[in-house]
Amino acid sequence: MNNELLKITNLSVTYGGIEAVKDISFSVPEGKIVTLIGSNGAGKSSTLRSIVGLEKPKTGKIVFDGLILNNFTTDEIVGEGITLVPEGRRVFDNLTVEENLKIGAYLRKDSIKEDLEWVYGIFPRLKERLWQKAGTLSGGEQQMLAIGRALMLRPKLIMMDEPSLGLAPIVVQEVFKIIKDISKQGVTILLVEQNANQALKVADIGYVMATGKIVMKGSGKELLDNEEIKEAYLGKKK
């Protein structure tokens, strides 16, 4: 499956006169993991926010599954099958694990029982904490809940904004294993990460962003092996 599920062409996004994203183009093939890596402020999160309708592009075109999304509302975009796991998790602290998951399916009219079981199969720890308030979970468990909540829509594309942020190294490894497992189940993933090393290990395709522009593209392995990338983003010197 190599057809382009998401195609971004000449996208620019401006905040208060500052151009956060500058004329970028990239695509996300169906069934693949694509990552945008780069330092803080490179324009990665702004790119995701524009795709899901939280920011309106200044220029460019966002095409998803053959539909031009530029004038769609966020609810309409979610209804077409794109979900975003936001930076900082943003779970509903005072609601239980299951209530949080059910909120993820708010646009659905069909039964979600099977999908709850599917999510609990991916995250057995959430099933153990079914009736626990989300605010009492560990950071790693909250990240699992945020991803599980996004999966409840049965999305065609799940976008994740810094899923490893603030997590202990052992939990980070677990989160990236989960990302790989979700991909194996046929969900297309667009991943924004500052942890370039882990992101490139799981990604089929990687794009490097700097000051709002895409400056490099390659397979995850090609970028991992690139000396320039190693020095700039992986903290390794020759």
β-pair partners for 205: 34, 219
User: Which residue from 26, 10, 39 is spatially nearest to 195, judged by alpha carbons?
Assistant: 39
- Asked, for residue 23, whether it belongs to a domain, the answer is yes
Split at pLDDT 50, 70, 90, the class of 188 is very high
221-to-88, 189, 196 alpha-carbon distances in Å? 28, 17, 12
- 156, 195, 90, 83: CA torsion to nearest 10: -10
- Asked, for residue 16, whether it belongs to a domain, the answer is yes
Per the structure block, which two tokens stand in for 54? Answer: 């939280």
- Asked, for residue 59, whether it belongs to a domain, the answer is yes
Instruction: Check residue 231 and give its pLDDT.
Output: 83
- pLDDT tens, position by position, 39-92: 888 889 999 999 999 999 999 999 999 999 999 999 999 999 999 998 877 899
Instruction: Check residue 230 and give its pLDDT.
Output: 81
138-to-20, 89, 165, 227 alpha-carbon distances in Å? 33, 12, 13, 36
User: Which residue from 151, 217, 146 is spatially nearest to 175, judged by alpha carbons?
Assistant: 146
Alpha-carbon distance of 53 to 137, in angstroms, equals 30
Stretch 128-154: mean pLDDT: 92
More confident residue, 99 or 112: 99
More confident residue, 215 or 1: 215
CATH of the domain at 142: 3.40.50.300
Average pLDDT, the chain: 90
Structural domain for 147, as ranges: 4-233
User: Which residue from 167, 96, 106 is spatially nearest to 133, judged by alpha carbons?
Assistant: 96
Domains of the chain: total: 1
Cβ neighbors of 156 (< 8 A, separation 6 or more) are 5, 30, 65, 80, 81, 82, 187, 188
Cβ neighbors of 137 (< 8 A, separation 6 or more) are 91, 97, 129, 145
Split at pLDDT 50, 70, 90, the class of 234 is low
Question: Looking at the predicted structure, is the pLDDT value of residue 212 above 80?
Answer: yes
β-pair partners for 15: 18
Q: Which amino acid is at 37?
A: I
- Asked, for residue 238, whether it belongs to a domain, the answer is no
- Asked, for residue 39, whether it belongs to a domain, the answer is yes
Give the DSSP letter string of 137-155.
S-HHHHHHHHHHHHHTT--
- pLDDT tens, position by position, 3-45: 899 999 999 999 878 899 999 999 999 999 999 998 888 889 9
Instruction: Check residue 16 and give its pLDDT.
Output: 78
Instruction: Check residue 1 and give its pLDDT.
Output: 41
Instruction: Check residue 238 and give its pLDDT.
Output: 45
Extended beta strands in the chain, E state: 4-15, 18-29, 33-37, 59-64, 67-68, 82-85, 157-161, 188-193, 205-210, 213-219
Q: Which amino acid is at 216?
A: M
